[in-house]
Amino acid sequence: MQFSFAYTHSPIDFYFRQSPRDFVVEEVPLYPFSGEGVHLVLKIRKKNCTTFELLKILSNHLGIKEKDIGYAGLKDKNALTIQHLTLPLSVRKSLESFTHKEIKILETTLHNNKLKIGHLKGNKFFVRIKKLDSLNAQKIVQVVKNIQKYGIPNYFSYQRFGKDGKNYLQGKAIAEQTQKVRNKKMQNFLLSAYQSYLFNAWLSLRLDISHIISANPAHSIAKALQMYADNLTDNLKAFVPSLAIPQIFTQHDYCNALKSQEHCFKLFSGDIMCHYPFGKNFSIENREDLMQESQRFLSKDIAPTGLLSGIKANVSKEVAGAFEIPFSDSKIQSVGTRRYAWIFPQDLQFTYKEEEAQGEFSFFLPKGAYATNLLREIAHREIMESQSEGESDV
Q: Are 102 and 48 in contact (CB under 8 A)?
A: yes
Q: How far is it, in rounded angstroms, from Cα 28 to Cα 241?
A: 42
* Nearest residue to 127 (alpha-carbon basis) of 259, 256, 20: 20
- Residue burial 214-234, b: 16+ Cβ < 10 Å; e: rest: eebebeebbebbeebbeebee
Question: Does residue 304 have a cis peptide bond before it, meaning omega lies within 30 degrees of 0?
Answer: no
The DSSP output letter for 14 is: -
Counting Cα atoms < 13 Å in the Cβ hemisphere of 221 gives: 26
Task: Give the chain's radius of gyration (CA, Å).
Answer: 22
Select which of 22, 76, 329, 393 is catalytic: 76
DSSP-H helix ranges across 252-326: 252-259, 290-298, 318-324
Q: How far is it, in rounded angstroms, from Cα 129 to Cα 379?
A: 11
Q: How far is it, in rounded angstroms, from Cα 361 to Cα 16?
A: 12
One-letter amino acid at 3 equals F
253 catalytic residue (yes or no): no
* Nearest residue to 56 (alpha-carbon basis) of 43, 44, 69, 47: 69
Strand 337-340 and strand 342-343: the pairing is: unpaired
* Nearest residue to 91 (alpha-carbon basis) of 72, 120, 119, 70: 70
Q: Which residues does the annotation mark as catalytic?
A: 76
